[in-house]
């Protein structure tokens, strides 16, 4: 039954967390590709955002 629940559309489970309160975060060792932790375009997106911020500040 657990396998059926995991494959059911529209269901998700959060990865394991470490810490408590304000310092609670996902456990990096428990994260993997299936968790969507990779974002290849993150650096390019951040650089574009920074350039746009600099332009709007002028």
pLDDT tens figures, 1-58: 455 555 678 888 888 999 999 999 999 898 887 777 678 889 999 999 999 999 888 7
Tell me how far CA of residue 14 lies from CA of 7, 18, 29, in angstroms.
Answer: 15, 12, 14
Task: State pTM to two decimals.
Answer: 0.42
Residue pair 5/11 in contact by the 8 Å Cβ criterion: yes
pLDDT at 1: 47
pLDDT at 53: 92
Spell out a b/e string for 24-58, using b for 16 or more CB atoms within 10 Å of the CB, else e.
Answer: eeeeeeeeeeeeeeeeeeeeeeeeeeeeeeeeeee
pLDDT at 2: 53
């Amino acid at each position: 039954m657990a396998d059926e629940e995991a494959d059911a559309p529209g269901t998700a489970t959060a990865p394991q967390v470490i810490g408590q309160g304000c310092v609670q975060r996902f456990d990096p060792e428990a994260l993997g590709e299936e968790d969507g932790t990779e974002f290849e375009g993150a650096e390019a997106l951040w650089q574009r955002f920074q350039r746009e911020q600099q332009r709007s500040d002028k």
